[in-house]
Chain A
């Protein structure tokens, strides 16, 4: 080995050592920096809770107190620590940079001294079999698939529907959260998801005619009368009907209207032998049943409450006591998250119950000082939990869905309270004939934002949508007012009165009058009628929406309306 080689060797060694040293140094600096960083981040010196606490005690303490002295010291330390760490970052970074430069240069130098001779590979050309690029193409194609997958991932991980309810960007969409995974064709109870009268992704027809059958997919007789509305679940429609003799639950097939099964609510312990007197325009089956996708729940004027599975087999049943109610029990059920909410107001004083949907056991129960009322509970989600809100006489009350504790209550109603509240953009709207219509800002204490005393609903429940409140009265007046201010945007007189509640679907309001004629108009601040669709018979039930379909209950028949 000759001289030049030896010199080379020495140079090489030197460079390697230098690289090693600087590399080690670099690592140490980085380590120290990281340590400082983590410490600083764990407790922002100027923002530490310790500081805050000791400050409070210092302020409480009298002047010249030891505590104050202590605090001042800590305070000073904290500030020192803050600016100290800044200094550390600065100097550390510079050191690291220098070390890095030295390391890179030294390493490259020694590498340069030890170049392997170029080793030409096998001659690519000769004897390269078949297509040398096939694998490459597969890789590219594979990467393309990866891209598609990434797009899919983005869609899945970022699409609103995965987030809680309205975070979905649909401003007022309580149902989103409620329905979760619920299939397109599901209408869980009176006035739909959460009982708020909004059919979220429904896209029903606007025109139909029960007489000449236009857009009517099928029509099916209902054995016994009842004012309850249809609910939909897994391709089945459920109804209740009844008279003084028997009260029944009906199940229809959604595709052809065939009556799949009927199940009587009979033989329930505590059920009265002699059913209570009820008014003709309430009947024994005025309360709309509810479903949670597994079972169907129905309550009758006798106080009988039954839970059936979708095949009609009774899961449980109980009698809540015979309602002492001038017209007859009419408050609909509401099922959500394993609980069945029942309002049970009568002269004996009201009760609010949450029952275990699986067993019927009471999860919680609240006494209500109220006179008989016929409004149905609605769900308001958020405020740190779900609340069950009920209009009553005289209070509107919100119960905590989990514990049943009274979240807030506010006195704003009177008389015979039948309409259920509406909800939009953080405001709740409760009204009743002969008292008032109030916009309530929930919270403790709840606050009345505005109140109005004319065009009050008697039976029909108002609905609120995108800053507009729609109220239908029993004498045929429909008003649209601004939810925030209450000022009336438009007012329209119809010849017929309304018992059925207005429903919002696909930015339109569907409102059926007592003759069974549905008025479809835009859910906008100017009145724009889109269609007038007769059912061909009187009707007071509220329509149920599922996907492209509407299920309407007339006095005698159940209709399925769909695009044809």
Chain B
């Protein structure tokens, strides 16, 4: 038997030295025992379950606090807890934002199965959003929490700017999926500004950009959530059709307009009864935009295709191919990548083939992405054709993060709580 082993050894050895192989240990005279290689198990095997449990609990609690109890303080407290747990304790991974990529990958790569935890983290917030709006953003998401904590002197972003910037998340979402589909890595994780904080350390560039986002966050409330977060797009859609949603007033809106500047996220839609502008020419404008829609889409499809090809170096095979080409040609110094490839013995032609496939994938993906963006922009223009008639102040379901800051502003709230005065008094706070 042992000989068989030895034979294999020799052959293995002769074939590829360095390949996995066993050698007979020296015949020690002293009583020497071989130390065992220690292999510590992955941390937090148990955490999978804890995390899920905490997530469910937090989401449930958040929904109740926002829609039932209507307590901003409660939400804030829960938010701090989640920041501590999901953020600093669990180091910001797993997060549903990144999970978008895992789910996408599991759909296209047969050899990748998305871990159950990740799947749950991806789905649950969406389900809750379908039922109660973006309560996840309000109190559970650590990225949201760390920003919300530093909202010190929020200023209102002009609607025009906000609307424009709110296209960005769609771009990020599209790009992230495009890259994952074509083996370009996890864009969202790379652009996660806070994970370095949660880990209390990391690449300088991450820390710096994170710091900048937080700085901006002191005056522009939750910039990442509003103008970058790709998961927010999905939550927004879900929240649009949510079964119930947080309301500004506990019962009836009296149009006192006290809540107008309550929301640092500009998510409050004012009542516009008797507003002449509300209806005038809306139909016409909408129709005009609807007509230009195909054109917009077409343009973006073209641009997307080109940009897609340009992005293909995100895929390592493409980079490798270029590197090797450059070297064969003498235009570049040999790099580890190419040496490894040559050593691996995969035929060059195979790589070329792969690259062609990838680039095609990028172009096609880019076109789709373009189409999507064109559609988003077109629809937004149509929606901006005019404001539909609103009789009372209500949250913009897609934007509202259910943070509950507006409760305190509503005189009805105070009446309801303790039939007191309808004017907000001093000890009300607007930023915790």
A contacts B directly (C-beta below 8 A): yes
- The answer to whether B275 and A125 touch across the interface, beta carbons within 8 angstroms, is yes
Report A-chain residues with C-beta under 8 Å of the C-beta of B273: 125
Report A-chain residues with C-beta under 8 Å of the C-beta of B381: 137, 140-141
Report B-chain residues with C-beta under 8 Å of the C-beta of A94: 200
Which residues 245-260 of A sit at the B interface, judged by CB distance below 8 A?
A: none
Flag the segment in B2-10, B63-71, B97-105, B297-305 that touches A.
B297-305
A211 at the interface (CB under 8 A from B): no
B416 at the interface (CB under 8 A from A): no
- The answer to whether A154 and B307 touch across the interface, beta carbons within 8 angstroms, is yes
- The answer to whether A93 and B171 touch across the interface, beta carbons within 8 angstroms, is no
How far, in Å, is B297 (CB) from chain A's closest CB? 11
Report B-chain residues with C-beta under 8 Å of the C-beta of A141: 377, 381
- The answer to whether A426 and B328 touch across the interface, beta carbons within 8 angstroms, is yes
What 1/0 mask marks residues of chain B from 182 to 221 whose CB sits below 8 Å from any chain A CB?
0000000000000001001100100000000000000000
Closest to A30 in B: B211
- The answer to whether B307 and A166 touch across the interface, beta carbons within 8 angstroms, is no
- The answer to whether B164 and A133 touch across the interface, beta carbons within 8 angstroms, is no
Closest to B161 in A: A139
- The answer to whether A131 and B280 touch across the interface, beta carbons within 8 angstroms, is yes
Which residues 418-451 of A sit at the B interface, judged by CB distance below 8 A?
A: 425-426, 442
B337 at the interface (CB under 8 A from A): no
How far, in Å, is A175 (CB) from chain B's closest CB? 11
- Tell which of B277, B310, B321 touches A128, judged by Cβ atoms closer than 8 Å: B277
Cα(A139)–Cα(B380), bound, Å = 11
Report A-chain residues with C-beta under 8 Å of the C-beta of B256: 120
Cα(A166)–Cα(B321), bound, Å = 10
Closest to B370 in A: A151
Report A-chain residues with C-beta under 8 Å of the C-beta of B327: 426
What 1/0 mask marks residues of chain A from 78 to 93 whose CB sits below 8 Å from any chain B CB?
0000000000011001
Residue in B167, B261, B330, B424 with the greatest tally of chain A CB atoms within 10 Å: B330
A492 at the interface (CB under 8 A from B): no
- The answer to whether A169 and B258 touch across the interface, beta carbons within 8 angstroms, is no
- The answer to whether B330 and A136 touch across the interface, beta carbons within 8 angstroms, is no
A177 at the interface (CB under 8 A from B): yes
A1 at the interface (CB under 8 A from B): no
- The answer to whether A93 and B201 touch across the interface, beta carbons within 8 angstroms, is yes
Which residues 36-67 of B sit at the A interface, judged by CB distance below 8 A?
A: none
Which residues 99-117 of A sit at the B interface, judged by CB distance below 8 A?
A: 104, 107-109, 111-113, 115, 117
Contacts across chains A and B counted by CB atoms under 8 Å: 204
- The answer to whether A171 and B167 touch across the interface, beta carbons within 8 angstroms, is no
- Tell which of A124, A151, A164 touches B275, judged by Cβ atoms closer than 8 Å: A124
- The answer to whether A137 and B431 touch across the interface, beta carbons within 8 angstroms, is no
How far, in Å, is A24 (CB) from chain B's closest CB? 16
- Tell which of B171, B201, B304, B380 touches A90, judged by Cβ atoms closer than 8 Å: B201
How far, in Å, is B171 (CB) from chain A's closest CB? 7
How far, in Å, is A398 (CB) from chain B's closest CB? 11
Cα(A115)–Cα(B428), bound, Å = 7
- Tell which of B200, B277, B281, B349 touches A129, judged by Cβ atoms closer than 8 Å: B277
- The answer to whether B331 and A381 touch across the interface, beta carbons within 8 angstroms, is yes
- The answer to whether A118 and B262 touch across the interface, beta carbons within 8 angstroms, is yes
- Tell which of A107, A143, A177 touches B152, judged by Cβ atoms closer than 8 Å: A107
- The answer to whether A140 and B330 touch across the interface, beta carbons within 8 angstroms, is no
Cα(A147)–Cα(B88), bound, Å = 35
Cα(A132)–Cα(B171), bound, Å = 27
- The answer to whether A169 and B355 touch across the interface, beta carbons within 8 angstroms, is yes
- Tell which of B300, B311, B332 touches A148, judged by Cβ atoms closer than 8 Å: B300
Residue in A124, A125, A129, A466 with the greatest tally of chain B CB atoms within 10 Å: A125
How far, in Å, is A183 (CB) from chain B's closest CB? 21
> How many chain A residues have a CB neighbour from B under 8 Å?
75
Flag the segment in A50-58, A155-163, A285-293, A304-312 that touches B.
A155-163
- The answer to whether A165 and B200 touch across the interface, beta carbons within 8 angstroms, is no
Residue in A109, A120, A143 with the greatest tally of chain B CB atoms within 10 Å: A143
- The answer to whether B424 and A90 touch across the interface, beta carbons within 8 angstroms, is no
A121 at the interface (CB under 8 A from B): yes
- The answer to whether A135 and B160 touch across the interface, beta carbons within 8 angstroms, is yes
A349 at the interface (CB under 8 A from B): no
A144 at the interface (CB under 8 A from B): yes
What 1/0 mask marks residues of chain B from 280 to 319 whose CB sits below 8 Å from any chain A CB?
1100010000000000100110011011011101000010
Q: Known contacts A138-B160, A154-B310: does B165 contact A143 (CB below 8 Å)?
A: yes
How far, in Å, is B40 (CB) from chain A's closest CB? 20
Report B-chain residues with C-beta under 8 Å of the C-beta of A128: 275-277
Contact residue range for chain B? 35 or more
Which residues 139-193 of A sit at the B interface, judged by CB distance below 8 A?
A: 139-144, 147-148, 150-152, 154-155, 157-160, 163-174, 177
Cα(A8)–Cα(B432), bound, Å = 17
Closest to B390 in A: A125
Cα(A160)–Cα(B318), bound, Å = 11
Closest to B211 in A: A30
What 1/0 mask marks residues of chain B from 242 to 277 whose CB sits below 8 Å from any chain A CB?
000000000000001111111000000011111111
- The answer to whether A140 and B384 touch across the interface, beta carbons within 8 angstroms, is yes
Q: Known contacts A131-B277, A132-B277, A139-B164: does B310 contact A169 (CB below 8 Å)?
A: no
Q: Known contacts A104-B150, A132-B277, A171-B325: does B307 contact A151 (CB below 8 Å)?
A: yes
Cα(A482)–Cα(B428), bound, Å = 82
Report B-chain residues with C-beta under 8 Å of the C-beta of A108: 149, 152, 431-432
- The answer to whether A159 and B310 touch across the interface, beta carbons within 8 angstroms, is yes
- Tell which of B258, B386, B432 touches A133, judged by Cβ atoms closer than 8 Å: B386
- The answer to whether A144 and B296 touch across the interface, beta carbons within 8 angstroms, is yes
How far, in Å, is B97 (CB) from chain A's closest CB? 21
- The answer to whether A90 and B200 touch across the interface, beta carbons within 8 angstroms, is yes
B326 at the interface (CB under 8 A from A): yes
Q: Known contacts A124-B270, A124-B275, A131-B386: does B326 contact A171 (CB below 8 Å)?
A: no
Cα(A307)–Cα(B258), bound, Å = 84
- The answer to whether A37 and B160 touch across the interface, beta carbons within 8 angstroms, is no
Q: Known contacts A112-B432, A136-B384: does B307 contact A155 (CB below 8 Å)?
A: yes
Report B-chain residues with C-beta under 8 Å of the C-beta of A173: 325
Report B-chain residues with C-beta under 8 Å of the C-beta of A165: 326, 329, 331
Q: Known contacts A118-B258, A140-B380, A142-B164: does B322 contact A152 (CB below 8 Å)?
A: no
How far, in Å, is B215 (CB) from chain A's closest CB? 12
- The answer to whether B261 and A170 touch across the interface, beta carbons within 8 angstroms, is no
- The answer to whether B385 and A133 touch across the interface, beta carbons within 8 angstroms, is yes
- The answer to whether A164 and B326 touch across the interface, beta carbons within 8 angstroms, is yes
Q: Known contacts A155-B310, A167-B331, A380-B330: does B272 contact A111 (CB below 8 Å)?
A: no
Cα(A93)–Cα(B206), bound, Å = 14
Cα(A425)–Cα(B342), bound, Å = 13
How far, in Å, is A231 (CB) from chain B's closest CB? 24
Given contacts A125-B274, A147-B303, 13 further A-B contacts (CB under 8 A): A111-B153, A115-B424, A115-B430, A119-B261, A133-B385, A137-B381, A140-B384, A151-B303, A155-B306, A158-B311, A174-B329, A381-B331, A425-B348
Q: Can you list 14 A-B pairs with a CB-CB distance of less than 8 A?
A: A41-B204, A89-B201, A107-B152, A111-B431, A120-B260, A135-B160, A139-B161, A148-B299, A152-B306, A155-B306, A158-B310, A160-B322, A381-B331, A467-B349
What is the interface of chain B, defined by CB distance below 8 A to chain A?
88, 149-150, 152-153, 159-161, 163-165, 167, 171, 197, 200-201, 204, 256-262, 270-278, 280-281, 285, 296, 299-300, 303-304, 306-307, 309-311, 313, 318, 321-322, 325-332, 348-349, 352, 355, 370, 373, 377, 380-381, 384-387, 409, 423-424, 426, 428-432
Q: Lowest 8 A-B CB distances belong to which pairs?
A: A382-B330, A112-B429, A125-B275, A93-B200, A143-B164, A151-B307, A139-B160, A383-B330
